């Protein structure tokens, strides 16, 4: 059996002392895998992403990445190990240009920035067209593309995406999901936290369903999508 790239084991975490939003969550992400986290509002999906990335410190439990414990480490120590993170909001520097945002994303990279930026412009052509434009003037979908490109500038082994389709038009949602699939096809592992559960599960290798801070269901994306119980409770489907 392949060793997980990311292993979260029995993690309890929250924002206030003695008040845990995560109630013993355990998940794995294997190399090159796309794993989706779904669940109702308040289930702990974004909290889990923040705990993995070091924005909040678990009260108990362990987080292991690439064979090394990152439990309790801050983001500035986690990023160099190979983890990229795109938060749902405030994910670009609005006063800086597209190009300057990418430069900021590459601050720890040893690869020449010019080469990395060109790779991002090739992957996200609209960013290439707007490279001198201030990020704050981009559309919501273009800002989401820039946020992903900025996180990719460090060439992570794992990319964590927190609600990448939130507040986007249906056309841009489709575009963002296509780009997520392209990133996955390059061999990168992705942990996707997403409210658009049906669309996310359709493209996922595996998924976890969170409820009240616990991982209630786990399985292949397509199996969760077709599970009557998951469908009724979390996807608005009736069988």
At 6 the pLDDT is 98
At 89 the pLDDT is 84
Q: How far apart are CA 93 and CA 113, in angstroms?
A: 18
Q: What's 78's domain CATH number?
A: 3.40.50.300
Domain membership of residue 112 (yes or no) is no
Domain membership of residue 214 (yes or no) is yes
Domain membership of residue 122 (yes or no) is no
Domain membership of residue 228 (yes or no) is yes
Domain membership of residue 141 (yes or no) is no
pLDDT tens across the length of the chain (239 residues): 589 999 999 999 999 888 899 999 999 999 999 999 999 888 999 999 999 999 999 999 999 999 999 999 999 999 999 999 999 888 999 999 999 999 999 887 777 788 899 999 999 999 999 999 999 999 988 999 999 999 999 999 999 999 999 888 888 899 999 999 999 999 999 999 998 889 999 999 999 999 989 999 999 999 999 898 888 777 765 54
Q: Are 26 and 35 in contact (CB under 8 A)?
A: no
- In degrees, rounded to 5, the angle at the alpha carbon of residue 188 between the alpha carbons of residues 130 and 95 is 30
Q: How far apart are CA 64 and CA 82, in angstroms?
A: 12
Domain membership of residue 26 (yes or no) is yes
State the total domains in the chain. Answer: 1
Sign of the Cα torsion 221, 222, 227, 229 reads positive
Q: What is the model's pTM?
A: 0.93
Ordered DSSP codes for 63-86: EEETTEE-TT--HHHHGGGTEEEE
Q: How far apart are CA 50 and CA 67, in angstroms?
A: 20
Domain membership of residue 132 (yes or no) is no
Which residue segment(s) compose the domain that 13 sits in? 1-82+204-239
- In degrees, rounded to 5, the angle at the alpha carbon of residue 51 between the alpha carbons of residues 226 and 117 is 85
Domain membership of residue 180 (yes or no) is no
Q: How far apart are CA 76 and CA 91, in angstroms?
A: 16
């Amino acid at each position: 059996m392949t060793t997980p790239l990311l292993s979260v084991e029995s993690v309890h975490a929250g924002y206030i002392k003695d008040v845990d939003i995560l109630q013993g969550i355990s998940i794995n992400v294997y190399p090159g895998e796309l794993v989706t986290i779904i669940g109702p509002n308040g289930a702990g999906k974004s909290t889990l992403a923040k705990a993995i990335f070091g924005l909040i410190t678990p009260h108990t439990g362990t987080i292991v990445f690439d064979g090394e414990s990152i439990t309790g480490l801050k983001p500035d120590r986690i990023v160099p190990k190979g983890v990229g993170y795109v938060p749902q909001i405030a994910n670009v520097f609005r006063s800086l240009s597209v190009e300057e945002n990418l430069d900021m994303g590459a601050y720890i990279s040893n690869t020449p920035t010019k080469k990395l930026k060109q790779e991002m412009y090739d992957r996200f052509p609209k960013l290439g067209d707007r490279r001198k434009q201030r990020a704050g003037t981009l559309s919501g979908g273009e800002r989401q593309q820039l946020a992903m490109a900025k996180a990719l500038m460090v060439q992570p082994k794992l990319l964590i995406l927190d609600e990448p389709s939130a507040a986007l038009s249906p056309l841009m949602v489709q575009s963002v999901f296509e780009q997520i699939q392209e990133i996955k096809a390059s061999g990168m592992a992705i942990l996707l936290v997403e409210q658009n559960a049906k669309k996310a599960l359709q493209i996922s290798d595996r998924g976890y369903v969170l409820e009240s801070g616990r991982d209630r269901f786990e399985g292949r994306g397509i199996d969760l999508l077709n599970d009557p119980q998951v469908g009724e409770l979390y996807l608005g489907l009736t069988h």
